[in-house]
Amino acid sequence: MFTDRAHSRREFLTGAMKAVSACIALPSIGKIFAEEDPYDAITVASPVKSVIFVNMVGGMSHVDTLDPKPDSAFAAVNSSIAGVRVCETLQKSAAQLSSLNLVRTLRSEDGAHDFGQHLVNTGYRFTESQGFPDIPSLGSVVAYARTRKDTGAYFPSNIIINDRGRGGSAGFLGVKYAGFHISNPQRGIQNLIGASQLSSERLTRREKLLEILNEDFFRRNNPQAYNTWKQMFESALSFMNSDRLSVFDLGLMPAKLKASFGDTRIGNAFALAYRLAEKQTPFIQINIGGWDTHNNNRAKVAEICRDLDPALATLLGELKASGLFSQTLFVLVSEFGRTPDAGGKDGRDHYPKIFSGLIGGGALVKGQVLGETDAKGEKPLKESWHLKEFLSTMHRAAGIDPEAQLTSSTGRPFSLSPRETRYISELF
């Protein structure tokens, strides 16, 4: 006989409903009877409050930047890591390299841009993410982990600077964690008037008009779409009241500091990333395109790095000088590398077999070079790491358990990193 009928009945119903949920994939039932908050289940200890993620869109040539070879288009220069050289295209950044770690033997199987960008923005190969049509981006996962319990005024927790089409999808995590795009960092946020600049009567009239329009929208559309738009409106209204809006105004930076980043699109992007890191924004992504150098490789790489080098060097130097490096994780990577052999022409094709990346900050060790390539930069001489492992390392360093799971919109368990993906333990 049961000694506590109410307690035992509750245990029976909880177990039964969990079983039903598992069999017929009802995510709402599973959440009602969840024994622990999924937020707590995916986080691990980390001092990191912000991630700055630099995505070199198009495939950065490793032999013309971080892994110089005799056939590189540029000369090599010494870095601040003893015995380690990089290309002269990153001469200023070379002096800051000891604050980071250089991984020279990354690899993947995806040599097409769309597949490579899917991997670099989600941590999943496209073929591995089938069955998850609403897979969240890396930035959305970090934003979810860091701000899910926040109850204050809305402020974007996942900000993407430049190139709207690369990254930012929140998938099943919801629109709250989607990427907030800044297409031109110099201009900041356009078409936004702070709520303090409008009278309460005017705001009330606008809200009532929107409510009327939303009621009509609700009648003609499904409730989920209505709820999404309602959440977006509420977030926008809250954003208007944010006391952090000034962070997007680069004109408020000290003139000398702003100038050191460079008055270029890339320089302004890095300057804004620094200001956002000061405000502990969870995920800041900078997209830098132009790396698809099938022709005119030398001139194109030189043009990009002319703006990139001072911006990167200044960012790393300021993070270190301000003490923010201990709470900021910096990551730089591309979807693949470029062919080391230019084939007698000034152009390099897609090359996912080997490429380079940078990672550092937070509690990671620093000043390490992991992996070594052969004399041409075509294959590893020692160990290599899949791009999935590099991104899983980013998760772990940012305070997210890469082996943890969430529940997708269809009720399926979703692992934050693909099964059996390790992280680079040498960095911890």
Calculated CA dihedral for residues 90, 95, 98, 103, nearest 10 degrees? 10
Q: Are 247 and 185 in contact (CB under 8 A)?
A: no
With CA atoms as reference, report the closest residue to 79 among 92, 94, 91, 89: 94
pLDDT at residue 267 greater than cutoff 60: yes
Higher pLDDT, 117 or 7: 117
| CATH of 43-188+253-427 given 1.20.1600.10, 1.10.645.10, 3.40.720.10, 3.30.2320.50 | 3.40.720.10
With CA atoms as reference, report the closest residue to 149 among 177, 190, 189, 107: 177
Query: What φ, ψ does residue 338 adopt, rounded to 5°?
Result: -125, 155
Sign, CA dihedral 32-34-36-42, equals negative
The C-alpha atoms of residue 346 and residue 310 are separated, in whole angstroms, by 25
Higher pLDDT, 215 or 370: 370
Domain spans in the chain, listed from the N-terminal domain onward: 10-37, 43-188+253-427, 195-240
Average pLDDT over every residue of 186-190: 77
pLDDT at residue 314 greater than cutoff 50: yes
By mean pLDDT, which of 147-151, 295-299, 304-308, 420-424 is the weakest? 147-151
pTM for the full predicted model: 0.84
Give residue 375's pLDDT. 96
Q: Are 121 and 136 in contact (CB under 8 A)?
A: no
Give residue 402's pLDDT. 93
Q: Structure tokens of 174?
A: 């919801």
Beta-bridge partners for 386: 107
- At 343, the pLDDT band (50, 70, 90 cuts) reads confident
Give residue 419's pLDDT. 87
Average pLDDT over every residue of 84-90: 98
Q: Are 371 and 406 in contact (CB under 8 A)?
A: no
Average pLDDT over every residue of 73-89: 98
Sign, CA dihedral 102-103-104-106, equals negative
By mean pLDDT, which of 35-44, 104-113, 220-229, 396-405 is the weakest? 220-229
pLDDT at residue 262 greater than cutoff 60: yes
- At 227, the pLDDT band (50, 70, 90 cuts) reads low
Higher pLDDT, 412 or 239: 412
pLDDT at residue 197 greater than cutoff 90: no
3-state secondary structure the chain: CCCCHHHHHHHHHHHHHHHHHHHHCCHHHHHHCCCCCHHHHHECCCCCCEEEEEEECCCCCHHHCCCCCCCCCCCEEECCCCCCEEEHHHHHHHCCHHHCEEEEEEECCCCCHHHHHHHHHHCCCCCCCCCCCCCCCHHHHHHHHHHCCCCCCCCCCEEEECCCCCCCCCHHHCHHHCCEEECCCCCCCCCCCCHHHCCHHHHHHHHHHHHHHHHHHHHHCCHHHHHHHHHHHHHHHHHHCCCCHHHHCHHHCCHHHHHHHCCCHHHHHHHHHHHHHHCCCCEEEEEECCCCCCCCHHHHHHHHHHHHHHHHHHHHHHHHHHCHHHHEEEEEEECCEECCCCCCCCCCCEECCCEEEEEEECCCCCCCEECCECCCCCCECCCCEEHHHHHHHHHHHCCECCCCEEECCCCCEEECCCCCCCCCHHHC
Q: Report the share of the chain in percent with pLDDT over 90.
A: 67
Sign, CA dihedral 22-28-29-31, equals positive
Per residue in 385-413, pLDDT tens? 999 999 999 999 999 999 999 998 888 89
pLDDT at residue 184 greater than cutoff 70: yes
Query: What φ, ψ does residue 281 adopt, rounded to 5°?
Result: -65, 125
Average pLDDT over every residue of 180-195: 76
- At 132, the pLDDT band (50, 70, 90 cuts) reads confident
By mean pLDDT, which of 172-176, 199-203, 251-255, 373-377 is the weakest? 199-203
Give residue 166's pLDDT. 76
Give residue 203's pLDDT. 60
Q: Are 285 and 276 in contact (CB under 8 A)?
A: no
Give residue 39's pLDDT. 63
pLDDT at residue 207 greater than cutoff 60: yes
Mean pLDDT score across all residues of the chain: 86
The C-alpha atoms of residue 31 and residue 175 are separated, in whole angstroms, by 19
Average pLDDT over every residue of 204-227: 66
With CA atoms as reference, report the closest residue to 155 among 231, 227, 244, 50: 244
The C-alpha atoms of residue 335 and residue 351 are separated, in whole angstroms, by 10
Per residue in 4-31, pLDDT tens? 434 444 444 445 444 434 443 433 333 3
Give residue 168's pLDDT. 87
Sign, CA dihedral 124-125-128-133, equals positive
Average pLDDT over every residue of 212-221: 68
Beta-carbon count within 10 A of 36 CB: 7
Give residue 244's pLDDT. 78
